[in-house]
């Protein structure tokens, strides 16, 4: 059973250390200071940024991007209007529109409320919907579908050969297990990651931007209102790896009960003047990324170095590399939560790029602008052609160690 009290016990003996050995388990503490208006300069954590403007046509209009997977030199996107009407859009590595899979409805190959998708080892696309799993090939041809009598899927990731790790609702019906293993025939074989009854409401009533994450051969998991990131082994064993420490702004672990719904949870959180909550995370070779929010949905970007144990956190991202002086104050909806290896795939609205572009051009001299154009010709060309109502832009952010 996963209990917050276990983490509290670990912290009580941590003292000033950042890690603790408990038997064979090592939990690293990541302290995050939630301070509204705290600046974080790009040069502190960015090696380079590549802009991928996603082509805008009537066939591929995007409201919001909820999932980005880069595979076979293509970007696969789950795009929605709000959080509903999910569609799968495919763009090449330059952002040129390639394919749309959008088949809402109850007929063969159709879906109601597409929640997530995954590419298998054959590069087939599995779409997780309400009541069924639908498989398409990479050219958008419907292949097959299988009905599943389960509550709504939240996330899915490739696990080991011909297996998938699925995070879904309805844990009380599975002995309070949050995760399941699905085989290539879309059959659920095993449930695991059991939590206490009073913790299940956190998973049933809300969501993080991502709760599952894979890097190299490792899979990580953290459910809503949980301050711990767990690593999942090939034998379905889970162990705590990182503890996210919000200090005085931590939400106590025992304030919710099993029967709590959204209103009850919100009412209990109202008693706190402020708090920190993990909304997204990512793991790279050298870094751990944590995307947090506070009580009023400000967004906080944090990086933790596995080597130096240093933590960088900012609520305002200050550009001191490209459009110098441009600043973005983040809300939680602006946080990144998609990765490709060591790179962040950060979806942003064109207006943020254009504001920086025009603002920088207006304040520098003609000579300085000409030098900038010579140094960043592709960036200038993209921004000169971009419109505010275009599709979102993907920033491929290559991180550096801190």
Q: Residue 36 belongs to a domain with what CATH number?
A: 2.120.10.30
Looking at residue 152, its pLDDT comes to: 76
- Lowest mean pLDDT of 228-237, 278-287, 376-385, name the range: 228-237
Q: Is the pLDDT of residue 4 over 70?
A: no
Reported as a pLDDT band with limits 50, 70 and 90, residue 362 is very high
Question: Which string of DSSP letters, residue by residue, matches 130-146?
Answer: TTEEEEE-TTS-EEEEE
Task: Please say whether the dihedral angle defined by the alpha carbons of residues 19, 279, 174 and 204, taken in this order, is positive or negative.
Answer: positive
Residue 150: pLDDT band (50, 70, 90) is low
pLDDT range class, residue 83, cuts 50, 70, 90:
low
CA distance 102 to 87: 5
Beta bridge partners of 179: 167, 192
* DSSP class per residue in 326-337: -EEEPBGGG---
- The answer to whether residues 91 and 77 touch, using CB atoms and an 8 Å cutoff, is yes
User: How many separate domains does the chain show?
Assistant: 1
**Cα gap 120→157, rounded to integer Å:** 9
Instruction: Please give the residue range of the domain that contains residue 318.
Output: 4-399
Give exposure, 279-291, as e/b (b: 16+ Cβ within 10 Å): bbbbbbebbbbbb
Q: Find the largest Cα–Cα distance for the chain.
A: 68
Whether residue 328 is predicted with pLDDT greater than 60 in this model: the reply is yes
C-alpha span between 349 and 334 (Å, rounded): 9
Look up the pTM and report it: 0.90
Query: pLDDT value at position 17?
Result: 33
pLDDT given for residue 25 in this prediction = 62
Model confidence band, residue 327 (pLDDT cutoffs 50, 70, 90) = very high
Q: Is there a contact between 102 and 87 (Cβ–Cβ < 8 Å)? A: yes
């Amino acid at each position: 059973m996963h209990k917050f009290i276990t983490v509290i016990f670990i912290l009580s003996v941590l003292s000033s250390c950042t890690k603790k050995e408990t038997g064979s388990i090592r939990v690293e503490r990541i302290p995050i200071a939630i301070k509204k208006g705290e600046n974080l300069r790009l040069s502190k954590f960015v090696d380079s940024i590549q802009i991928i403007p996603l082509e805008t046509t009537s066939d591929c209009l995007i409201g919001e991007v909820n999932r980005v997977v880069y595979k076979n030199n293509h970007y696969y996107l789950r795009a929605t209007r709000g959080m509903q009407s999910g569609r799968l859009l495919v763009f090449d590595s330059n952002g040129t529109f390639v394919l749309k899979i959008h088949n809402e409805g109850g007929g063969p190959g159709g879906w109601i409320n597409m929640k997530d998708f995954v590419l298998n080892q054959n590069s087939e696309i599995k779409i997780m919907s309400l009541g069924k799993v639908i498989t398409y090939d990479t050219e958008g041809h419907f292949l097959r579908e299988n009905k599943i009598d389960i509550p709504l899927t939240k996330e899915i990731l490739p696990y080991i050969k011909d297996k998938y790790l699925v995070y879904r609702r309805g844990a009380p019906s599975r002995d309070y297990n949050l995760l399941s293993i699905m085989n290539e025939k879309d059959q659920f074989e095993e449930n695991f990651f059991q939590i206490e009854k009073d913790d299940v409401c956190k998973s049933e009533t809300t969501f993080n931007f991502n709760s599952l994450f894979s890097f190299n051969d490792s899979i990580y998991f953290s459910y809503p209102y949980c301050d711990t990131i767990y690593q999942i082994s090939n034998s379905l064993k889970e162990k705590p790896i990182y503890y996210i420490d919000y200090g005085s702004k931590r939400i106590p672990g025992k304030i919710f009960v099993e029967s709590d719904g959204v209103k009850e949870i919100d009412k209990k959180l109202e008693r706190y003047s402020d708090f920190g909550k993990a909304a997204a995370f990512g793991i790279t070779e050298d870094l751990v990324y944590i995307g947090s929010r506070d009580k009023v949905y400000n967004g906080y970007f944090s990086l933790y170095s596995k080597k130096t144990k240093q933590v960088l956190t900012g609520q305002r991202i200050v550009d001191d590399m490209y459009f110098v002086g441009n600043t973005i104050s983040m809300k939680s909806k602006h946080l990144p939560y998609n990765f490709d290896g060591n790179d962040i795939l950060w979806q942003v609205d064109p207006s943020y790029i254009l504001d920086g572009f025009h603002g920088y051009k207006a304040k520098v001299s003609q000579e300085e602008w000409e030098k900038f154009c010579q140094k960043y010709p592709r960036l200038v060309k993209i921004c000169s052609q971009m419109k505010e109502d275009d599709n979102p832009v993907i920033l491929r952010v290559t991180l550096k160690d801190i």
